[in-house]
Every structure is written in structure tokens, then in C-alpha cells.
Amino acid sequence: MKLTTFSLLALTAASSTALAETMPSDLLGTWQTPLAEQQAPDGSQSAYLSQTVVFTDNHETIRAEVFADPDGQMPIFTYASTGPYDVVGKSRVVDNALDIELVNDSSTVTIFMDVPDLMAAVGMGDCDLIIGTAVNVTDCVSGPPFSVTDCIDLDLVAVDQEGQRLRFGADGVNRCVTRPTALSEIAFFKVD
């Protein structure tokens, strides 16, 4: 009887932890993805990518750092986007998620190597980039994965694993029009 009661209590506690709702305060801090190999959207090249997102009370910054090596010692370029965000409320379609709206005030790219083929493959072939200088790319990005929106970006976000993992909405919708209805598999982990 004790084993059954203990097992039932453990299951109940685990279920309540798994179903905990994301609160706006859960977003605050710095979150990062592990460095992982990524293929360019056109399939031409691969590089190593790490993403970092920082949430303050009303501001969000996301940075994508692309490297030539799996150890992250040879940077190719850094993309950074920043702007205000609002938590709209609890998601009606994704458990444990919040609906958020993001505004892009600034999108810049700093290159560290002259790699025109890779920059074209990631939609920045028409940008006048300068090695070592952050360049505003808002008006020159021509496609994914760094498409710059000039609308309110409708997204969702969830924090789980005892406050250590953050995920945004899955790709596949025009976020200027429709909010995602599922979470992305890309996971950001709390670093600060």
C-alpha cells in the first residue's frame, strides 16, 4: 500500500510540474542553443550556429553566431535583431505557452570573413557588408533564415524543464498574419 501511495503521489507531482504554466517572469534572462551544424537554406554550404536570446522586462534581443568550425573559434558572421515585446496572454492552442508579440527595431550583421557565396545562400547577398562592422540589413535581406519582418511578429514561447529550457513557436506560418500553433524543436537553455 505504501509503494502504491508513494507512486501515485510521485506521479501527481510529476504531472503538476510538467503542466506548470509559463509566466512572463520565466522569460527573463539569457538563453542559448548549443553550437550545431546547420545547412544553408539552398543546401550549398554548412556552418556551425549558436543562437542567444535575451529577455528583459520589455525588450528582446536575439543573436545568431555562425562559425566555420565545430569548436566555435572561427566566426563567420553574427546576426542580431532587437526590439520590444509584449506578452499577450496564455496561449489558447499550446499548453504551457504564452502568446507574445515582437517588434523588430534593428537588424544588423557583422561579418568576420569574406564569404559571398554563404551570404547569398542565407539571403544577404545584396547587403553591402563590411568585415568587422555591424551593418543594418533591414532593407537588403532577401529571404530565410534571417528574413526581417516589418510587422508585429506573432509568436509564442514556453519555458519548461524546471525553468531551464525555452522554445518559441514552430516555423511554417507567416507570423505577420498567423501565430504558430506548435512549439519549435529548437531549444534555448538558460545561461543567466
Give the number of other Cβ atoms within 10 Å of residue 20's Cβ. 13
1-52 pLDDT, tens digit each:
333 333 333 333 333 344 479 999 999 999 999 999 998 777 777 899 999 9
DSSP class of 103: -
Decide if 42 contacts 142 (C-beta within 8 A). Answer: no
95's grid cell: 499548453
Contact 190, 166 (CB under 8 A): yes
Beta-sheet pairing, 36-39 with 106-111: unpaired
Amino acid 137: pLDDT: 92
Surface-to-core class of residue 13, CB atoms within 10 Å of its CB (0-12 exposed, 13-18 middle, 19+ buried): exposed
Given the C-alpha cell 512572463, which residue does it identify? 24
Tens of pLDDT, residues 128-169: 999 999 999 988 888 777 777 778 999 999 999 999 999 999
| CA–CA separation, 99 and 92 (whole Å) | 8
**Alpha-carbon torsion (98, 104, 106, 107), positive or negative:** positive
Q: What's the pTM?
A: 0.84
- Residue 61 φ then ψ, to 5°: -125, 130
Q: What is the pLDDT of residue 150?
A: 76
Provide the 3-class DSSP secondary structure of residue 191.
coil
| Domain segments of the chain as ranges | 22-190
Q: Read off the amino acid at residue 81.
A: S
